[in-house]
Structure 1
Amino acid sequence: MEPGEMLGGRYRLIEPCGQGGMAEVWKAYDTERRLEVAVKVVRPARDLVGQWFDTGHMHQGRAELHGRFRREGEVLAGLSHPGIPELYDRGVHGDRPYIVMRLVKGKSLHWLLENRRPFARSVVIAIAWQIADALACAHAARLVHRDLKPHNVKVDHDGTVVLLDFGIALPLLPGVTRYTAQGTTLGSKGYMAPEQIREDPLTLRTDLYAYGCVVFELFTGRRPFGTEKGLSIVSQHLESAPPSVQEFAPWVSDDIDELILRLLAKEPGDRPPNVQAVLKALKPHLPVPGDPAPDLSIGPDPTLRFRRPEGASSGSDHAARPPVVRRPALARRGGGWISRRNIEEYLAEVGRELAEGAAGSATERLAELLPDARRQFGADPLVRRARRACADSLRIAGECARAGDLYRQQVGDLGRPDAPALQAERLTTLLRVAECRIPLREIESALDGLREVANDVGALPVELAEQVISHCEELGLELAELGYVAEVDEILDPLRRRPPDQEV
């Protein structure tokens, strides 16, 4: 990708902000909202061969990455906290998915530790508390971040501490697809909990260990385990007792020293019970309204929100939150008549609701209007867009039965189109129908849907076929997680065996 390139017809790329294992992040300009945003885009498949998959498993590996990336968007859509970037939009550029988020313009905690230490005591506590507060939001959604480290924390220009990169976050919910194969531990060396290194089942307390490593580094300027002991870092995380923070920072109080030692316990059961306990332990040490500003070389002041007269309270329930924006209800003309402009307005409202975290009243209102819109405009592209938006919103909200009905109506309206793009749309919609059957335990029907698409994808041009096959692999992964590995392989192996860039 190059500066000036447009994504989704509205996001103009400005400059790259960074690159991770599976994605690159760009600063971009949203030409509709007229503000700068962050756009995270999956890296090209050719760049990931050898790192995430080999050439013989191109389709499966790419489908796994796209599935994980799609889940990151769904995760962010369900979180609302000033210390977690808001999700604005999602889309696909060519065959590369992307997500659009709030742009955090500050410095990473890693950069600050390298260039601005030592921090004032009040700054350390304020940063530690804000990280824990953001983590509390994720844990309330039963979400393990899995990659908490200084690189993934930023101090924004207003002093807000922001937790970034939910790319490998794991929802602890029944039936959630595990995109990590055995032997491919995800996380960052130096911050992984022992159970994460051993590939044992993870819990919310797994993040508390990584948090303990980060806070240890905040107080001391060094990680709890290094290479000076002659043992590997991994071995020390598994076997060595952590040092006392007071060994390197004698000014640290006994209760904080004890808290960090508990966070770094080898056994999850020996760590604090939850992140709320951490917030409670840190609260007596926070700056309070009227305290003087610290002597800062860090730049933005993380203590400011606490030193203001309306400073933060004891836990995340009382932490600063963005104001709720209440929009006027969208008007509808009487007599069952609806204009195209009305539909566009409802579509925009549904998009805003999803960007703020979840499906809501706009989805319900638009779904109520769909029968009138269908009768009035027929199988119009705008009606299809509206139905697809409602179906996607309901599916993400877990209302798979209703979403499946809307997807099936979409298939009916598309019929058997001649245009390749519409053929691809029909096949991807059939895959959505199949996906909605899985939570309803209609597994055989889901397999039949996957089989139908796999049989028909050969009619598409290569580029469109690749995109549909990628979606097939994502659905196949979900079915394989439920034990239907042989059935999925039987359906998809003929597509996997074909030479690259050859007609299906």
Structure 2
Amino acid sequence: MVSSADDGATLEPAGFVQAAGGVSAPPDSRRSAAGHLLALEPGTEFGPRYRIASKLGQGGMGAVYKAYDNDLDRTVALKLVRSDLMADTETMQRFKQELLLASRISHKNILRIHDLGDVEGIKFISMAYIEGEDLYQQLKREGRLSLDRSVAIARQLCEALEAAHAVGVVHRDLKPQNVLIDREGTAYVSDFGLAKSLEADVAGITHTGQLLGTPRYMSPEQVEGGPLDHRSDLYALGLILYEMVTGEVPFAGGSTLKVLYQRVKEPPKNPKLVNPELPDYLARIILRCLERDPARRYQSAREVLDDLEGGHASRAPKVAVQGYWRRRWPFAAAAILFLSLAAYLTIDRVFFRPSLKQGASVKPVALAILPFRNVSGDPALDWLGPSLAEMLRTAIGQSSYLRAVSSDRLHQVFKDLRLSANTDFDSATLERLAEFTSADRLLRGQYVRVGERIRIDATIQDPKGQRATFLKAEAPNEKELIAAISQLARSVQQNLALSAEVVRELRAKPLQPSSKSLTALREYNEGLQLARLGNHSEALKHFEASTREDPNFAIAYSKLGQTHATLGHTREAEQASREAVRLSEKLPERERFLILANHARIVNDLDKAIESYENLARALPADPQIHFDLGGLYESKGAFDAARDHFLKALESDAKYVDALYAVGRVEINRGSPQGSLEPLNRALSLAIELGNEEAKANMLNAIGVAYKNLDKPQDALRYYQESLAIKRERGDKRGMAAS
């Protein structure tokens, strides 16, 4: 049996440990000259029932002894409260609480509490004695544990937490010191001294401002002193699992202040960066436990256990992250008062700068429009599914209050999640799509032909399907589809909780292809789909067909020029692009800016391209694709600071945009800040691992290698290069292999 000591406490041999305060001690115990209780010697009779065998350790609340229970003829552990704490009503209440709460839980992986007692004024708890040691000692001695042992311990901790949470008990101080391991490898959760019933107003801070828990293993909400629930224990579980499989903790600093700041402001380092042999699924489980927002973590210990046993990791739910953290910051000052007033003032000045008022800026609604399904059984209408989504997206429009996820971005997410346009979107798939597109609303639907009529049914819903609005539109025949789609777009605008003023703005400034020919639009949209798949030769044929069908279709000429340029047809590219510019003179400004930007890129006029994209960015400030493209232009010009700023703006609207994270890391390296590149590159690597995207994973590993090389850490750089090379070799990526 070992103690449940606080961080920094040490195990001491049985002997001299002074407990201040005047109490009446057993006559044969050791005393100081002032009569204070020092320590109970082996062989000491502790009251009429117990005989002390040895001292096991010293914790924050008092000493722990191995003793023999004469009445029940068994070995037990006795936890004695320090004499100076006995007069503290709150401390004694926590001591009693440990017994009462732990007694509500009956489980093989929770340390059994026998009794609460008093011997001549000394309060103690008797509990089961475990022959073994705590997890802290194992980690201290061995460092990283084997994967099998780590998972075995984690599974037992899940079962213990599930039992505690089932009866409404939150531990609040789960850490390696409170996990006991016997000689057979059975794990026991101990020390419920900070546990609290879920029925109470659970928080991580006392009425005196004292922070409850151990800083190294606190959840972010515990650091901030906000309300806690069982998910705080799951965060601590993630920290323990991280430490078992890596031998390190994800947050480390020179001071408690720095660790607490990291906990609430920075993402954890991916454990695979510390232990490359760690299975991807286990890394994903750990990172989901360590989500800063409790709503994005696992919601129960059973969920964690199921994923551990199944050898996979389920997806985190999508939540509104921005408002969550803004609401929680007011708790932070109180949470770190224990550091001292000077430290608090430093935090307030340096770290917690005042943010904009909530009403200063309004986050736009992000809408992802999914491909529509053909349920008519008529393959002649298959083309309409993706084209309908594309036409709706442009017909609905964008503004500073509404952002439609770009088709290119949606295509990439579909590729990452291995979905097809014909996917039947169940609730789990919709949640994942919302998560990886950062969408607040999803628009999906189907269409059917009945005779000549074509009926379109659409649904607007939130990511979790908690609220849905059903819409429909009908075209008497195929020629009237454009009018039906415009009608449906107006219905969508009216049902997105947008103000009448915003709806008027959307309708006054549409960003849509300037053609009224359904055939031209069909050819144009099919060309876009082929271009996204990298089939530029076939895409070229469709853009040519689109311009033949409608010779005034400016954006189709622009895309035709882009495709010629991609294929190396310089003369044809410039010719098509100039025609697009000529036709754009009377178009809405947003479409004209896009055409001018494309033309400038084709003729290699970076300054003109940047000017046009800056105009687009002012018109559509929340569109991540525009900021991403603009960042790429600045990067090509060598203006790395400006490039970084626009890549970061893209991430403000789409936090899981892997290419944008990669780009931020890339420009940080190029602007001479390799250390600054590691955070975005590690985030991108974590996402690539979560998505199973081996190509992106290899690219991130290679980029991290470059960063470490520039940091003059050749051994670290070599390790990342080798990992990247192994993936590229397996994929047959010869160009990538040469780069690595």
Structure 2 residue aligned with 1:267: 293
- The one-character-per-residue Cα deviations of 1:273-316 (angstroms, maximum 9, x if unpaired) are 11110000001349xxxxxxxxxxxxxxxxxxxxxxxxxxxxxx
In the alignment, the residues of structure 2 paired with residue 11 and residue 176 of structure 1 have an alpha-carbon distance, to the nearest angstrom, of 36
Shift of 1:261: 0.9
In the alignment, the residues of structure 2 paired with residue 190 and residue 218 of structure 1 have an alpha-carbon distance, to the nearest angstrom, of 15
The verdict on how the C-alpha distance between 1:145 and 1:231 changes in structure 2, with shifts beyond 3 A counting, is closer
- Aligned AA (2:167): A
In the alignment, the residues of structure 2 paired with residue 36 and residue 212 of structure 1 have an alpha-carbon distance, to the nearest angstrom, of 33
Shift of 1:175: 8.0
The verdict on how the C-alpha distance between 1:89 and 1:8 changes in structure 2, with shifts beyond 3 A counting, is farther
In the alignment, the residues of structure 2 paired with residue 113 and residue 175 of structure 1 have an alpha-carbon distance, to the nearest angstrom, of 34
Determine which of 225, 228, 241 is the counterpart of 1:199: 225
SS in 2 for 1:232: helix
- The one-character-per-residue Cα deviations of 1:90-148 (angstroms, maximum 9, x if unpaired) are 21122222111100121111111111244322111101111111111111111111111
The verdict on how the C-alpha distance between 1:210 and 1:7 changes in structure 2, with shifts beyond 3 A counting, is same
- The one-character-per-residue Cα deviations of 1:453-488 (angstroms, maximum 9, x if unpaired) are xxxxxxxxxxxxxxxxxxxxxxxxxxxxxxxxxxxx
Shift of 1:264: 0.7
Determine which of 179, 186, 197 is the counterpart of 1:160: 186
In the alignment, the residues of structure 1 paired with residue 209 and residue 89 of structure 2 have an alpha-carbon distance, to the nearest angstrom, of 19
SS in 1 for 2:216: coil
Structure 1 residue aligned with 2:308: 282
1:84 and 2:122 are equivalent in the alignment: no
Structure 1 residue aligned with 2:442: none
In the alignment, the residues of structure 1 paired with residue 170 and residue 178 of structure 2 have an alpha-carbon distance, to the nearest angstrom, of 14
Structure 2 residue aligned with 1:68: 94
Determine which of 132, 141, 145 is the counterpart of 1:115: 141
Structure 1 residue aligned with 2:19: none
Q: Which of 1 and 2 has greater Rg?
A: 2
The verdict on how the C-alpha distance between 1:181 and 1:75 changes in structure 2, with shifts beyond 3 A counting, is same
Shift of 1:231: 7.9
In the alignment, the residues of structure 1 paired with residue 117 and residue 255 of structure 2 have an alpha-carbon distance, to the nearest angstrom, of 48
- The one-character-per-residue Cα deviations of 1:187-242 (angstroms, maximum 9, x if unpaired) are 11111011101100111101111111111001100001112799811111010111
- Is contact 1:131–1:161 with CA below 8 Å preserved after alignment? yes
Q: Root-mean-square deviation (CA), in Å?
A: 2.4
- Is contact 2:52–2:67 with CA below 8 Å preserved after alignment? yes
In the alignment, the residues of structure 1 paired with residue 123 and residue 278 of structure 2 have an alpha-carbon distance, to the nearest angstrom, of 46
Structure 2 residue aligned with 1:173: 199
Structure 2 residue aligned with 1:28: 67
Structure 2 residue aligned with 1:10: 49
Structure 1 residue aligned with 2:271: 245
1:219 and 2:257 are equivalent in the alignment: no
In the alignment, the residues of structure 1 paired with residue 201 and residue 175 of structure 2 have an alpha-carbon distance, to the nearest angstrom, of 28
Shift of 1:5: 3.3
- Is contact 1:246–1:257 with CA below 8 Å preserved after alignment? yes
In the alignment, the residues of structure 2 paired with residue 131 and residue 166 of structure 1 have an alpha-carbon distance, to the nearest angstrom, of 14
Shift of 1:155: 1.1
- The one-character-per-residue Cα deviations of 1:220-271 (angstroms, maximum 9, x if unpaired) are 0000111279981111101011111111112222222111111111111111
Give 1:34-433 correspondences, 5 Å limit. 34-45=73-84, 48=85, 59=87, 62-174=88-200, 180-227=206-253, 232-285=258-311
SS in 1 for 2:64: strand
SS in 1 for 2:217: coil
- Aligned AA (1:74): L
The verdict on how the C-alpha distance between 1:230 and 1:27 changes in structure 2, with shifts beyond 3 A counting, is closer
SS in 2 for 1:186: coil
In the alignment, the residues of structure 2 paired with residue 68 and residue 105 of structure 1 have an alpha-carbon distance, to the nearest angstrom, of 26
Shift of 1:177: 11
Give 1:471-486 correspondences, 5 Å limit. none
SS in 2 for 1:190: helix
In the alignment, the residues of structure 1 paired with residue 182 and residue 276 of structure 2 have an alpha-carbon distance, to the nearest angstrom, of 29
- The one-character-per-residue Cα deviations of 1:28-63 (angstroms, maximum 9, x if unpaired) are 001122221001111112xx4xxxxxxxxx84xx22
SS in 1 for 2:226: coil
SS in 1 for 2:207: coil
- Aligned AA (1:27): K
In the alignment, the residues of structure 2 paired with residue 259 and residue 167 of structure 1 have an alpha-carbon distance, to the nearest angstrom, of 28
- Is contact 1:68–1:179 with CA below 8 Å preserved after alignment? no
Shift of 1:174: 4.3
**How high is the sequence identity, in percent, across the aligned residues?**
36
Deviates most, 81-90 or 275-284: 81-90
5+ long unaligned stretches in structure 1: 49-57, 287-504
- Aligned AA (1:16): K
In the alignment, the residues of structure 2 paired with residue 202 and residue 276 of structure 1 have an alpha-carbon distance, to the nearest angstrom, of 19
In the alignment, the residues of structure 1 paired with residue 83 and residue 208 of structure 2 have an alpha-carbon distance, to the nearest angstrom, of 24
In the alignment, the residues of structure 2 paired with residue 76 and residue 230 of structure 1 have an alpha-carbon distance, to the nearest angstrom, of 30
* TM-score, L = length of structure 2: 0.35
5+ long unaligned stretches in structure 2: 1-38, 313-740
The verdict on how the C-alpha distance between 1:6 and 1:240 changes in structure 2, with shifts beyond 3 A counting, is same
* TM-score, L = length of structure 1: 0.51
- Aligned AA (1:9): P
